[in-house]
């Protein structure tokens, strides 16, 4: 910074009753505007109280710039004080909701100085609706972290007919009375171990954890009920405490919760092996109803009797059927059937032989007639003659030399002849 003329400075303070000489004599800091902004920035940055804080206020203006940053102004409705804030473009996608003018919000961020306008502002990381928004946000953050550790994956089966159970609740809670009444009605004679604990207030989480540990050390209970019986979100806050959630998830026996009503939801319910809406529903889930078991046993007995009678009836039918089949396969009956089949076979054989013989006879007659038609003697009897030469060979041509002797075979004897002359057969 350029040094200033002391005389000029003296003139600047002339006429002011402010001890000019003392100002000039003492070492008074001299800063530029940028120096002031930088100094204030360093002060705010070094203050751990302002480095991370929640601010509650009403949104009086909200505008998104062209580069994606969100600029808003928070106002205190009672005092009228204003606080400017900004959400950088890289952080807008992580916001739980998008604020609107007139909404009362919770803003998480860091307070700093904007040197371009020489004013302080809140660099915002997260926005939540005011009221229970902060609790809801913390609930979701813890839920996501515990789920990532696998604490909500513990779903063990409950014993079907437990002989001893334990209950962690307040002795003054109406839920404990509902559980006792339900257990007595549904499963008389059940051994119930009661581990008293505070179920509301700051000391409740540690009290509940100690009660669960006592049940585990005792070792007799087969299943544990952790119950309260509803209440406001503040009343049920102890069941969202990380210590309680871990104690339930790490319990050596199955845990059933009956903390709130159907609209309530706690992290303890997620960590339990079964979450019931009410303490009564938790007791009903842990033990069966003996009256219902007796009714089911009676129904099973009736079904068994009916099935037995039906089976006997079917067996009797099969017995009669077997008797009828046995009568059909009796040796006398089998012999009779064999004789009938033999008689039928004999009859078919005789008929086949007769048919075959008749066919052979007919064929013999036909062959005999054919042979008779081809017999030379039969031809001779019709007036024909056989002519042979002296060697006995049949004569088939008229071309024979004269004086050739021929033997002529007739039907009734034979004669000799001599060729005088031969002639060509007439032309037709």
Partnered with residue 64 across adjacent β-strands are: 70
Count other Cβ atoms within 10 Å, centred on residue 53: 14
Residue at 297 is within a domain: no
CA 215 to CA 250: how far, in whole Å? 13
Report residue 387 CA to chain centroid gap: 113
Bridge-based pairing state of the strands 223-227 and 255-258: parallel
Q: Whole-prediction pTM value?
A: 0.51
Residue at 113 is within a domain: yes
Residue at 334 is within a domain: no
60, 75 Cβ separation under 8 angstroms: yes
Give the range of the structural domain holding residue 197, as residue numbers without chain letter. Answer: 154-288
257, 238 Cβ separation under 8 angstroms: no
Per-residue pLDDT of the chain (428 residues; tens, 9 = 90+): 444 455 544 444 454 455 545 555 557 788 787 888 888 888 877 788 888 888 988 888 889 999 999 999 999 888 888 999 999 999 988 888 888 888 888 889 988 888 777 788 899 999 888 866 667 777 888 888 889 988 888 789 998 889 999 999 989 888 898 999 998 988 888 899 999 998 888 888 999 999 999 999 999 999 999 988 766 767 778 888 899 999 999 999 999 998 876 566 788 889 999 988 889 999 999 988 878 777 877 788 888 888 888 888 888 888 888 877 777 667 777 778 888 888 888 888 889 888 888 988 888 888 887 777 777 777 777 778 888 888 878 877 767 888 888 888 887 888 888 888 777 777 76
Q: What is the pLDDT of residue 68?
A: 92
273, 154 Cβ separation under 8 angstroms: yes
Angle at 256 between CA 145 and CA 213, to 5 degrees: 75
CA 163 to CA 195: how far, in whole Å? 17
Same domain as 177, residue 226: yes
CATH number at residue 281: 3.40.50.11400
Same domain as 165, residue 126: no
Partnered with residue 122 across adjacent β-strands are: 85, 111
Same domain as 112, residue 170: no
Domain count, the chain: 3
Phi/psi-derived region of residue 413, left when phi > 0, alpha when psi is between -120 and 50, beta in every other case: left
Same domain as 281, residue 162: yes
Give the E-state strand segments of 81-212 in sequence order: 82-87, 104-114, 119-129, 164-169, 191-196
Same domain as 93, residue 168: no
Same domain as 246, residue 159: yes
Residue at 337 is within a domain: no
């Amino acid at each position: 910074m350029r040094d200033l003329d002391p005389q000029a400075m003296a003139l600047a303070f002339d006429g002011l009753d402010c001890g000019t000489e003392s100002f000039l004599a003492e070492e008074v800091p001299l800063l530029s505007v940028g120096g002031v902004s930088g100094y204030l920035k360093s002060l705010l940055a070094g203050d751990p109280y302002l480095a991370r804080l929640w601010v509650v206020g009403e949104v009086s203006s909200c505008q998104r710039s062209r580069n994606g940053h969100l600029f808003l102004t928070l106002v205190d409705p009672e005092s009228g004080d204003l606080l400017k804030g900004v959400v950088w473009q890289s952080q807008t996608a992580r916001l739980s909701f998008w604020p609107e003018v007139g909404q009362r919000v919770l803003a998480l961020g860091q307070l700093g100085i904007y040197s371009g306008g020489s004013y302080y502002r809140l660099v915002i990381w997260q926005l939540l609706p005011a009221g229970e928004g902060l609790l809801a946000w913390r609930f979701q953050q813890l839920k996501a972290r515990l789920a990532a550790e696998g604490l909500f994956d513990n779903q063990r089966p409950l014993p079907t007919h437990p002989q001893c159970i334990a209950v962690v609740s307040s002795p003054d809670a109406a839920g404990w009375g509902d559980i006792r009444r339900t257990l007595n009605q549904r499963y008389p004679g059940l051994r119930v171990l009661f581990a008293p604990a505070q179920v509301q207030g700051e000391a409740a989480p540690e009290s509940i954890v100690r009660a669960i540990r006592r049940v585990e050390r005792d070792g007799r209970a087969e299943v544990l009920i952790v119950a309260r019986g509803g209440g406001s979100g503040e009343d049920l806050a102890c069941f969202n405490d990380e210590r309680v959630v871990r104690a339930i998830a790490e319990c050596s026996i199955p845990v059933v919760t009956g903390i709130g009503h159907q609209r309530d939801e706690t992290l303890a319910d997620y960590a339990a092996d079964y979450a019931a809406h009410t303490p009564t529903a938790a007791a009903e889930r842990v033990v069966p109803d003996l009256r219902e078991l007796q009714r089911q046993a009676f129904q099973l007995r009736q079904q068994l009797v009916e099935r037995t009678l039906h089976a006997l009836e079917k067996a009797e039918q099969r017995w009669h059927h077997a008797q009828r089949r046995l009568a059909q396969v009796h040796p006398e009956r089998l012999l009779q059937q064999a004789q009938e089949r033999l008689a039928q076979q004999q009859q078919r054989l005789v008929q086949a032989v007769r048919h075959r013989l008749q066919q052979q006879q007919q064929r013999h007659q036909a062959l005999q007639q054919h042979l008779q038609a081809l017999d030379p003697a039969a031809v001779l009897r019709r007036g024909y003659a056989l002519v042979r030469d002296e060697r006995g060979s049949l004569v088939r041509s008229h071309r024979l030399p004269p004086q050739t002797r021929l033997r002529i075979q007739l039907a009734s004897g034979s004669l000799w002849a001599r060729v005088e002359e031969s002639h060509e057969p007439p032309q037709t």
